[in-house]
A and B are shown apart, each in its own frame.
Chain A
């Protein structure tokens, strides 16, 4: 089976998602919903006074892509500044729509490049970006994010 999308890392994060819990003392939170798939998640973020992300967690249910994306995002954002987070958000977004080729362009995505093949599955791009949009919304104090 040609499954460039369903790589080991993604399947593994789907099976045992990291930081899959509600975060006590979160400074920011938002709900994300994709009516097409029924993907539904909550992102919690704790930002410290130095404007650093101390912790990110998520809860909810969804497809393997959205779950793995959320899980990997929570580990990627730990100890990042808000500026670094915004940069990653921007790079991830370009990655999943095929505008950033990680092997040709310098970037800060690290393990997140496992999503580099997803632009070939247009109907699934939304699954991968839902956690990121929700995180971004949380930082911008938007309560509910919907991607369609």
Chain B
């Protein structure tokens, strides 16, 4: 056993105490959304109970307090990503909105007919569809890097796709359906050699590894608060200042302007230019609390613990007759997608749920991955640092019980 004391942290998550169908909850769906520690819930509560006010708008005490808390959260996110300047941190409503923002505000400004965009075969739909929409709007072309049978990007194919026509590369860092960790740093370098900008979808990476956007040198990076122990409804777009400055606003409204007349409107400076309307204030404050909470836990401890869970979970699942794992990359995060012979993933999901075990079943918003591996869907176990080997044992028992039901 590692020195990581998982029970010390489990008490921080009230959700871990609930029962489902009379059984203790075994929550193994962290890639869909993570549970929230009490401090996050308390921070949101505190905003509504003692400090509710709009930001950037009032001169009264509460409004100033809210503005300060909101802007301090931006500082915390900047530190978390190791961004150079706080102006480079834009709050959005999630990863999806961040990607759409880049596609529309950067894409429509800088891409034109015949230009090429590269994505990989393992992208989440939110990193496919915005680019398809952009292609329809400006006539650029979407190219897809193939993946191998282990679920890894085929780097040679990526290098072949890169050309002077490539204007933008958008890549998932850690795949939500396969668990693959992509070598994004070398991929960013290769793209930059061709003069293309790179967008990194860090939705699953934020809980896998510390992030330094300056070292990575990506042009944009996006993530969602709810996948990193924070609330839903808030996400982040990091962008290099030079690009954000050069981009037109994404949406128009309050806060994103300096002056408005019917003849002419001047836009606000960064980051406000991209934050039209009242932002999700409570959620931003909650996200900050989640990031501060994470700072109290050692990355190395979490990494080792999750690696052990991944190894153990993989071994236990493979020991069950008829189980096949989809996604066997060398470099993987603690996500295991699998299928059980003769049992459709949805039937499996419903039956293990009766045992209190929450796993995701379906295509995980990555239909091209399912097509690549010739399965309609998979069951997916995604483990957070608060999960335990005992929980994996309960899953394994539940899978075996399902097999018994199906053999009746």
Contacts and interface: CB of A to CB of B under 8 A. Distances in A.
B246 to A, nearest CB: 38
Interface in B368-408: 370, 376-377, 401-402, 405-406, 408
B377 A1 contact: no
Contacts, number: 55
Interface string A117-136: 00001011001000000000
A46 interface: no
Contacts of B343: 64
A36 B376 CA distance: 10
B370 A1 contact: no
B354 A2 contact: yes
Contact of B370 (A11, A38, A63): A38
B63 to A, nearest CB: 42
B347 A1 contact: no
Given A2-B21, A36-B362, A37-B362, A124 B351 contact: no
B347 A64 contact: yes
Interface in A14-66: 14, 35-40, 61-65
Closest 6 CB pairs of A and B: A38-B376, A63-B344, A63-B346, A64-B347, A38-B377, A37-B346
Contacts of A61: 376
A1 B351 contact: yes
Contact of B346 (A14, A40, A124): A124
B354 A65 contact: no
A8 interface: yes
A6 B346 CA distance: 12
A3 interface: yes
B399 to A, nearest CB: 12
Interface string A59-81: 00111110000000000000000
Contacts of B350: 5, 121, 123-124
A64 B363 CA distance: 17
Contact of A3 (B354, B362, B363, B376): B354
Contacts of B21: 2
A28 B362 CA distance: 30
B355 interface: yes
Contacts of A3: 351, 354, 405
Contacts of B406: 6, 11, 14, 64
Contacts of A121: 350
Q: Size class of B's contact patch?
A: 20 to 34
A6 B401 CA distance: 12
B377 to A, nearest CB: 5
B344 A37 contact: yes
Interface residues of A, number: 23
Nearest to B402: A1
Given A8-B408, A37-B344, A38-B370, A1 B355 contact: yes
Nearest to A39: B376
A2 B347 CA distance: 13
Given A38-B376, A39-B376, A40-B376, A64 B344 contact: yes
Contacts of B354: 1-3
Contacts of B401: 1
B210 to A, nearest CB: 35
Contacts of B347: 6, 63-65
Given A36-B362, A37-B362, A6 B344 contact: no
A43 B326 CA distance: 31
Given A3-B354, A11-B406, A123-B350, 11 more contacts: A1-B405, A2-B354, A5-B350, A6-B405, A35-B367, A37-B376, A37-B377, A62-B344, A64-B344, A65-B347, A121-B350
A123 B360 CA distance: 12
Interface string B334-361: 0000000001111100110011000000
A37 B370 CA distance: 11
Contacts of A40: 376
23 contacts: A1-B401, A1-B405, A2-B21, A2-B354, A3-B354, A5-B350, A8-B408, A11-B405, A11-B406, A14-B406, A35-B363, A37-B346, A37-B362, A38-B376, A38-B377, A40-B376, A62-B344, A63-B344, A63-B347, A64-B344, A64-B406, A65-B346, A121-B350
Contact of A6 (B351, B362, B376): B351
A127 B362 CA distance: 13
B367 to A, nearest CB: 8
A121 B346 CA distance: 12
Nearest to B407: A11
A74 to B, nearest CB: 19
Contacts of A5: 350
A3 B309 CA distance: 29
Interface in B123-177: none
A3 B407 CA distance: 14
Contacts of A127: 346
A17 to B, nearest CB: 13
Interface in A98-117: none
B403 to A, nearest CB: 11
A38 to B, nearest CB: 3
A131 to B, nearest CB: 15
